[in-house]
């Protein structure tokens, strides 16, 4: 008979799951790992790593597909794994792409052959405007680096890249231990491939006889590994953040686009394309309106005492823009109806709470942080036009709130540890 899990332990599991998800989401945003012009496809085996990745990505409100390889090495188990992935795709309402191979675990160079078969499929997807997402994590990178250090003497061994020509690895910010804890907190169901214990395969030999013992003896190994390799990548100018434009674009669950950039004048063409995507008329001349937007951002940056919001700024075709500091939200009137519903449901949800969380964060733009306990150091009394009802209710009751683009460093540190996330799924949207 299993021991019941205490309420305190359940709460810790829940908070860990939220913090894990927010950590990965922030990593994805900061490293520009979502491209609205590319279709996302997640390679999923049925193991804990890939299922955890699907669980995190599915919470971001973005469109994606699944990709599964049936290697044919264990026919009955492989078919069960394939069925589980098809069932998962059906449950999530997403497309699943399944490829069958016919290779044997006894074949010479099995690992290399399987890797090349998968790589060929990945390349086909990438050529067709996909980005392929895999669940490689920090432990995988460390093991690969360790193996290469025994095989070569080069100085370029910086591990598994976060992004490589359309191959994306969002879990390069978490360890295997953290993924397992997240999966248990989320009560995910995964399968274990028994071949992972076969020491004839190089990776398994490394994991069982070297990395497991190293990490047990030196618990800070992975943290030092990540820090050292990040510094080397920055010095060599091959870090992901060195090579990308200083703008991040994500698509919110409403369908609108959120761009974060220090200076929008460097991203006029990107903004144009996003506006055209949401416009209900043919492309027109919008340079004058964009110049006004850029001027508004400059005024906000140069004058901290100025009103930090602009919007709605109306563009042709029903497109509306909202600006908060370095955050630009692009939507249209139809999608704006989502926020009218969200505003009333969020306010109603807050009023109905019997156990008030100390701090809560609504993920949809304009990313509202609410503190029911301690007053936020930069508490806002501004009402945002997308959430007027909620803002008025909070203000009338003296509840401290702020929009995350305006937060202080102190409040950001607090948010990373203590916030309960109220995403739209909580309110049935």
Name the binding residues for ATP. 45-50
Cis peptide before 366 (omega within 30 of 0): yes
Q: How many CB atoms lie within 10 A of CB 422?
A: 20
DSSP, residue by residue, 337-373: HHHHHHHHHHHHHHHH-SS--SEEE--STT-EEEESS
Token duo for residue 264:
């929008």
CA distance 239 to 203: 26
Residue 135: closest CA among 197, 51, 74: 51
Q: Give the separation between CA 139 and CA 136, rounded to whole angstroms.
A: 8
| Distances in whole angstroms, Cα of residue 128 to Cα of each of 38, 93, 132 | 9, 22, 11
Residue count of the chain: 429
Residues tagged in the binding site annotation: 45-50
CB 176 within 8 A of CB 49: yes
Query: Contact at 8 Å (CB) between 361 and 368?
Result: yes
Sign of CA dihedral 183, 189, 192, 193: negative
Is 320:336 a contact under the CB 8 Å cutoff?
yes
Q: Distance between CA 112 and CA 73 in Å, rounded?
A: 15
DSSP E strands in 224-362: the ranges are 247-251, 257-261, 309-315, 319-324, 327-332, 359-361
Distance, CA of 182 to CA of 173 (rounded, Å): 14
Residue with tokens 């490829």: 99
């Amino acid at each position: 008979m299993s021991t019941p899990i205490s309420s305190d332990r359940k709460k810790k599991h829940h908070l860990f799951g939220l913090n894990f998800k927010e950590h990965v989401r922030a990593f994805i945003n900061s490293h520009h790992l979502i491209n609205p012009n590319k279709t996302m496809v997640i390679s999923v085996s049925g193991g804990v790593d890939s299922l955890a990745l699907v669980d995190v990505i599915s919470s971001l409100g973005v469109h994606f597909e699944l990709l599964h390889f049936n290697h044919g090495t264990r026919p009955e188990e492989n078919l069960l794994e394939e069925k589980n992935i098809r069932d998962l795709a059906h449950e999530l309402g997403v497309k699943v792409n399944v490829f069958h191979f016919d290779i044997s675990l006894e074949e010479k160079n099995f690992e290399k052959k399987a890797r090349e078969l998968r790589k060929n499929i990945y390349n086909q997807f990438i050529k067709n405007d996909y980005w392929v997402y895999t669940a490689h994590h920090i432990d995988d990178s460390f093991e690969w680096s360790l193996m290469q250090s025994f095989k070569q003497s080069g100085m370029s061994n910086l591990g598994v890249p976060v992004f490589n020509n359309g191959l994306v690895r969002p879990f390069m910010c978490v360890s295997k231990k953290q993924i397992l804890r997240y999966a248990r907190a989320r009560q995910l169901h995964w399968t274990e491939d028994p071949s992972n214990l076969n020491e004839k395969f190089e990776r398994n030999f490394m994991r069982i006889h070297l990395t497991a013992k190293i990490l047990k003896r030196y618990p800070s190994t992975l943290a030092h590994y990540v820090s050292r390799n990040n510094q080397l990548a920055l010095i060599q100018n091959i870090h992901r953040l060195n090579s990308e434009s200083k703008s991040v674009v994500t698509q919110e669950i409403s369908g609108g686009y959120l761009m974060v950039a220090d200076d929008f004048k460097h991203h006029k063409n990107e903004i144009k394309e996003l506006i055209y995507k949401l416009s209900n008329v043919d492309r027109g001349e919008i340079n004058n309106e964009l110049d006004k937007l850029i001027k508004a951002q400059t005024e906000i940056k140069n004058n901290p005492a100025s009103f930090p919001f602009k919007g709605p700024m109306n563009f042709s075709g029903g497109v509306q823009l909202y600006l908060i500091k370095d955050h630009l939200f692009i939507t249209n009137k139809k999608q704006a109806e989502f926020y009218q519903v969200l505003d009333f449901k969020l306010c109603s949800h807050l009023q109905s709470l019997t156990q008030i969380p100390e701090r809560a964060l609504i993920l949809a733009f304009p990313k509202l942080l609410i503190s029911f306990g301690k007053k936020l150091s930069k508490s806002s009394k501004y009402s945002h036009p997308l959430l007027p009802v909620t803002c008025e209710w909070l203000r009338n009751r003296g509840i401290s709130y702020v929009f995350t683009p305006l937060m202080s460093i102190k409040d950001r540190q607090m948010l990373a540890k203590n916030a309960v996330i109220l995403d739209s799924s909580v309110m049935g949207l």
